[in-house]
Amino acid sequence: MPQPEPSSVQPYDEYNAVAGKAPNWLRSLLPRWFRQALNRSYWLFYDLRDFVAEATGWLPFHGLRMLVYRYLLRIRIGAGSSIHRGCRFYRPSAVQIGAHTVINRDVLLDGRMGLTIGENVSISEGVAMFTLEHDPNSPTFEHRGGAICVGDRVFVGARAVVLPGITLGEGAVVAAGAVVTHDVSPFTIVAGVPARPIGERRRDLTYSLNYRKWLG
């Protein structure tokens, strides 16, 4: 799958892009209280979108969840992929998932800066992938981040954390509980906090994942 370019877009830029569609002369005529109400309405919608995405994770039937994810929340999901119960999304419309990929329970996928997941990827329970964070050295605690790209046939172990701007190369393995702070080369196995290479994976991988539960 194509890799997204790292982005410097802040979460507020999405709001600014929407607000910028109104001509300047029109915005200048709107009273301050009305502009503030529009601003509050936008962020209410932003919160509502994330709430609906989280609530969808607890729908009891896998097929029903996939319908909501694809057609209401506009997540691009390839054929044969599955997303199990309890998963959460930030900005779901900016998440893309390839074919025959398995997202297990209680995974957090952050699409605020863009998240692309390839084909035949296995993401274990409790994994968190963040595309946006705060800069602890910023005097104003500013945001920083970048898109995450996960290559085909990557395996991410339980409770691992992938931080903003990371690329996991094709066939890479992230061990359970690892915290990934740098890109992982193709077919490399990493573990630890922060994650470091501990081995290599064979390169002749041909498997195709096809795992889902009716009530999963």
Q: In Å, how far are 76, 116, 203 from 99, measured between CA atoms?
A: 10, 12, 20
- pLDDT tens digits for range 65-97: 999 999 999 999 999 999 999 999 999 999 999
Amino acid at 59: L
Q: Quick check: is 211 in a domain?
A: no
Share of the chain above pLDDT 70, in %: 87
* pLDDT score of 14: 56
Q: Quick check: is 1 in a domain?
A: no
pTM: 0.83
* pLDDT score of 167: 98
Known catalytic membership, residue 143: no
Q: Quick check: is 23 in a domain?
A: yes
Q: Quick check: is 134 in a domain?
A: yes
Instruction: Name the active-site residue from 84, 134, 143, 182.
Output: 134
Residue range of the domain that includes 152 = 11-200
* Whether the Cβ atoms of residue 38 and residue 20 lie closer than 8 Å to each other: no
Report, as an integer, the average pLDDT of 97-105: 97
Number of independent structural domains in the chain: 1
Q: Quick check: is 68 in a domain?
A: yes
> What tokens were used for 213?
């539960």
Planar angle of CA 111, 115, 120, nearest 5 degrees: 130
Q: Quick check: is 216 in a domain?
A: no
Q: Quick check: is 146 in a domain?
A: yes
- pLDDT tens digits for range 34-57: 777 877 877 788 888 889 999 999
* pLDDT score of 135: 92
**Mean of per-residue pLDDT scores for the chain:** 88
**CB hemisphere CA count around 49 (13 angstroms):** 19
Q: What is the CATH number of the domain that holds 120?
A: 2.160.10.10
